[in-house]
């Protein structure tokens, strides 16, 4: 028997309240504005924007603002920035806060080579003194709360997240999210939720557990092993934008979400598709939407032939015509 525990105290970052403590992780090319709005509509404590490179953001290089629409005016949104130079990190934070961002999140967890080769993301775990310079620059540049997302360490010989988190708290970080893997693991193996407890024990600020959390059962186990104050869900929300609300309901007594099925599911997926077309434009939107449509159809049990046809259709009208048939096989999640 699962017993729900009501949330009585929100996580408070200055005057920003985060409740329930279940958040959507930033995923490049996935958690764009249309998807974040969809997830938030079902129910989430907060969502985090796609990572945006600080220098490119400030210099407004083509495509950056269009790709990473940051949702400044969206309640419960943290804007995530990355970089390797204190000046650009501080300027990006000031720009985001000046445009209305309620929370600034610093990325020190991205394992992608194109990021770490630029000495950003999780590469900063190899140079903690430099990382702390960046953190201090961002904290000192803005009045809004600044949070940090990172990993256990660079590799098994460099498990320094606890020390980094402690120093980050001293520098003014208000919350830290830990993905339970090292950078060199990327997404292989299993997230080590128990290892997050060392970080929790090192700081007094809230700690959020991340990695391999896909439902209420894994969220509950991650909290038990880590002692964390909340969870962050990333890949588990792909094709299931309601999963954060399900976890919140099971663990914290929030209202149980209605999982769309039948005509409601078709309306939701078609609405998400049209929102992506509107956000990106038809040409880019058709391409970006394919991964999301694929996840929805995988969950629905769409036949391979129909799935392939929809993902290769040349026009949005053709996609919208065939989606009802593709999703009609949906069963209760």
Q: Among all residues, which ones are annotated catalytic?
A: 110
Residue 179 annotated as part of some ligand binding site? yes
Residue 261 annotated as part of some ligand binding site? no
Q: Is residue 100 within 8 Å of 128, Cβ to Cβ?
A: no
Residue 235 annotated as part of some ligand binding site? yes
How far apart CA 48 and CA 33 sit, in angstroms, is: 10
**Structure tokens belonging to residue 182:** 């090292």
How far apart CA 272 and CA 237 sit, in angstroms, is: 14
In 3-state terms the chain splits into helix, strand, coil percentages (rounded to 5) of 50, 15, 40
How far apart CA 312 and CA 293 sit, in angstroms, is: 11
Instruction: Tell me the residue ranges of DSSP E strands in 200-280.
Output: 207-210, 230-233
How far apart CA 183 and CA 119 sit, in angstroms, is: 13
Residue 227 annotated as part of some ligand binding site? no
Q: Count the Cβ atoms, other than its own, within 10 Å of residue 283.
A: 9
Half-sphere exposure of 122 (CA within 13 A, CB side): 26
Half-sphere exposure of 8 (CA within 13 A, CB side): 1
Residue 301 annotated as part of some ligand binding site? no
Half-sphere exposure of 71 (CA within 13 A, CB side): 26
How far apart CA 332 and CA 156 sit, in angstroms, is: 41
Which residues are documented as binding site? 80, 149, 179, 234-235
Which residues are documented as binding site for FMN? 80, 149, 179, 234-235
């Amino acid at each position: 028997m699962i017993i729900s525990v009501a949330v009585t105290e929100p996580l408070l970052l200055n005057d920003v309240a985060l409740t329930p403590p279940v958040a959507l992780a930033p995923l490049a090319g996935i958690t764009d504005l249309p998807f974040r709005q969809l997830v938030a509509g079902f129910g989430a404590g907060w969502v985090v924007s796609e990572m945006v490179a600080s220098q490119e953001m400030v210099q407004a290089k083509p495509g950056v603002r269009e790709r990473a629409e940051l949702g400044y005016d969206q309640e419960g949104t943290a804007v995530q920035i990355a970089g390797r130079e204190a000046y650009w990190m501080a300027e990006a934070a000031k720009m985001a806060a000046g445009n209305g961002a309620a929370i600034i999140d610093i990325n020190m967890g991205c394992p992608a080579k194109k990021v770490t080769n630029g000495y950003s993301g999780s590469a900063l775990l190899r140079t903690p003194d430099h990382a702390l310079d960046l953190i201090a620059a961002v904290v000192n540049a803005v009045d809004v709360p600044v949070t940090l997302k990172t990993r256990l360490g660079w590799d098994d010989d460099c498990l320094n997240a606890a020390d980094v988190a402690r120093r980050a708290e001293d520098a003014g970080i208000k919350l830290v999210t830990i993905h339970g893997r090292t950078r060199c693991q990327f997404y292989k193996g299993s997230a080590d939720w128990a290892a997050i407890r060392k970080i929790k024990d090192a700081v007094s600020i809230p700690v959020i557990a991340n990695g391999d959390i896909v439902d209420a059962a894994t969220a509950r186990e991650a909290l038990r092993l880590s002692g964390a104050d909340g969870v962050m869900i990333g890949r588990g929300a792909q094709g299931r934008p309601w999963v954060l609300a399900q976890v919140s309901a099971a663990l914290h007594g929030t209202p149980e979400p209605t999982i769309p099925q039948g005509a409601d599911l078709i309306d939701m997926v078609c609405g998400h598709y049209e929102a992506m077309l509107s956000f990106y434009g038809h040409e880019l939107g058709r391409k970006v939407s394919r991964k999301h449509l694929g996840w929805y159809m995988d969950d629905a049990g769409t036949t391979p032939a129909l799935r392939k046809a929809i993902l290769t259709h040349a026009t949005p009208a053709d996609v919208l015509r065939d989606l009802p048939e593709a999703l009609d096989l949906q069963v209760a999640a």
